[in-house]
């Protein structure tokens, strides 16, 4: 018994062994799921973007004759991620498989990053248990097998959070390159998902107030982030004669708020809306002007239906934290999807009220989770958005478990 305990303790205190084990167990689960359920082809917007980028050297989703309208709606990082694979492996039938394999590796590394985050708050034993849950959480495992930016974004988001949490350590505060890496990762994240912009500026403010990071270091992060996104900004300025990172806000708002919208939104245009869009001039600013029409439609609906807006917000908030009772997504109500989601939702909900509110690191993570919940509850909700909330729910679930074990006088 003592020998077994000593071996277990030796393993848990050996970071290298833990990293290898977590990587391998994540790798195996993702390879298995990808083999049976993974995407085999590029489809829809990613196929269009890659085709235009590879064949015509322009990142575009819409073409009018010889005019390729530069893309603004889809954040560019994932398109270039796929493009890199096309350069390395060619435009073959197996391209999607190469992309998925890279995502499997990245997703497996994400487990290690999450474990390192947990170690800020728990013992090695509890952190290891939480990382195992993360490594085998069905929705996270499945996401690595799909052609989507989810895996890339989750990896980068957790890397960013790990770097921010490390700033509590005085040694990390002194390293010039630590801030350069934060700024670089932040820039890539901004070009991966729009909602990160809120997380970014909140994080800058938080580390200045609570982690006592100097203004000089804050400016360094801001400068590096600006440099990182500058090539895309310059590209857009040349194309549209204005500084712009993303467009599509109006469309995203409209699909969340129209007469047929539910938790998942609604995407079919009315005949009247189709007619308005058909009148948009087909030039370089087509997407920008089209988005203005969607924005006006959404604003009009919001103005005329304030009660419905509030109702939709709380439905979406419940759906992303717990479960959507009216999902139209295929296999949404599969036991292996629903059961783990409900379990961590309930445990994390309890943990929200029991965790130590004086812990500035933990408060930072909780506030990030709240930002994500608020943003996703304001717009049309897809089941995959739950993935970005899961790491925070696992952490709070561990806090709940820890709380009850303490009450019972158990060692952990």
Span 86-120, pLDDT tens digits: 999 999 889 999 999 999 999 999 999 999 999 99
Supply the pLDDT for residue 324.
93
Query: Using 50, 70 and 90 to split pLDDT, how confident is the model at 136?
Result: very high
- pTM, entire model: 0.95
Q: How confident is the model at residue 11 (pLDDT cuts 50, 70, 90)?
A: confident
**In percent, how much of the chain has pLDDT > 70?**
97
How many other C-beta atoms lie within 10 A of the C-beta of residue 272? 9
- Three-class DSSP category at 60: strand
| Cα 68 from Cα 47, distance rounded (Å) | 15
pLDDT computed for residue 267 by the predictor: 85
> Where is 145: in which H helix or E strand?
none
User: Rounded to whole angstroms, how far apart are CA atoms 301 and 10?
Assistant: 61
117's CB contacts (< 8 A; 6+ apart) are: 158, 161, 162, 165, 391, 395
pLDDT for 408 beyond 90: no
Crossing angle of the two packed helices 124-135 and 390-407, in degrees rounded to 10: 140
- Residue 172, pLDDT > 80, answer no
Give the per-residue pLDDT at 411.
Answer: 65
Q: Give the DSSP letter of residue 94.
A: T
Domain extents for the chain? 1-148, 149-243, 250-269+297-412
pLDDT at 249 exceeding the cut of 50? yes
Structure tokens at 187: 């820039």
Q: Is 89 left (phi over 0), alpha (psi -120 to 50) or beta?
A: alpha
Number of residues that make up the chain = 412
408 near 400, Cβ under 8 Å? no
Residue carrying the six token digits 């948009």? 280
Mean pLDDT score of the chain, rounded to an integer? 93
pLDDT over 80 (residue 159): yes
Tokens of 75: 């954040």
Looking at the predicted structure, is the pLDDT value of residue 155 above 70?
yes
């Amino acid at each position: 018994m003592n020998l077994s305990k000593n071996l277990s303790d030796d393993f848990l205190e050996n970071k290298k062994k833990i990293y290898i084990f977590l990587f391998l167990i994540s790798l195996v689960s993702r390879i298995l799921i990808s083999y049976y359920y993974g995407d085999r082809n590029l489809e829809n917007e990613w196929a269009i973007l890659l085709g235009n980028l590879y064949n015509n050297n322009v990142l575009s989703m819409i073409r009018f004759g010889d005019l390729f309208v530069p893309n603004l709606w889809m954040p560019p990082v994932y398109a270039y991620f796929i493009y890199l694979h096309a350069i390395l492996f060619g435009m073959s039938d197996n391209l999607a498989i190469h992309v998925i394999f890279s995502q499997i590796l990245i997703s497996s590394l994400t487990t290690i990053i999450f474990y390192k985050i947990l170690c800020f708050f728990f013992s090695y034993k509890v952190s290891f248990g939480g990382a195992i849950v993360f490594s085998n959480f069905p929705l996270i495992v499945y996401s690595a097998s799909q052609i989507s930016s989810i895996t890339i974004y989750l990896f980068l988001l957790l890397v960013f959070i790990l770097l921010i949490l490390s700033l509590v350590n005085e040694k990390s505060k002194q390293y010039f390159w630590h801030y350069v890496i934060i700024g670089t990762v932040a820039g890539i994240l901004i070009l991966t998902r729009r909602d990160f912009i809120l997380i970014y500026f909140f994080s800058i403010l938080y580390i200045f107030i609570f982690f006592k990071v100097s203004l000089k270091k804050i400016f360094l992060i801001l400068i590096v982030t600006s440099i990182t996104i500058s090539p895309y900004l310059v590209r857009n300025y040349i194309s549209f004669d204005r500084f712009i990172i993303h467009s599509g806000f109006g469309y995203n708002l409209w699909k969340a708020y129209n007469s047929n919208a539910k938790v998942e939104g609604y995407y079919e245009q009315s005949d009247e809306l189709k007619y308005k869009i058909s009148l948009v001039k087909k030039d370089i600013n087509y997407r920008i002007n089209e988005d203005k029409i969607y924005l006006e439609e959404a604003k009009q609906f919001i103005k005329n239906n304030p009660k419905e807006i509030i109702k939709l917000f709380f439905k979406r908030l419940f759906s992303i934290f717990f479960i959507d009772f009216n999902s139209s997504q295929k296999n949404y109500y599969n036991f292996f999807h629903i059961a783990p989601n409900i379990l961590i939702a309930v445990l994390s909900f309890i943990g929200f009220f029991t965790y130590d509110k004086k812990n500035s690191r933990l408060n930072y993570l909780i506030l990030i989770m709240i930002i994500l919940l608020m943003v996703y509850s304001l717009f049309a909700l897809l089941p995959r958005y739950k993935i970005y909330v899961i790491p925070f729910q696992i952490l709070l679930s561990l806090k709940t478990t820890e709380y009850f074990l303490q009450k019972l006088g158990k060692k952990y």
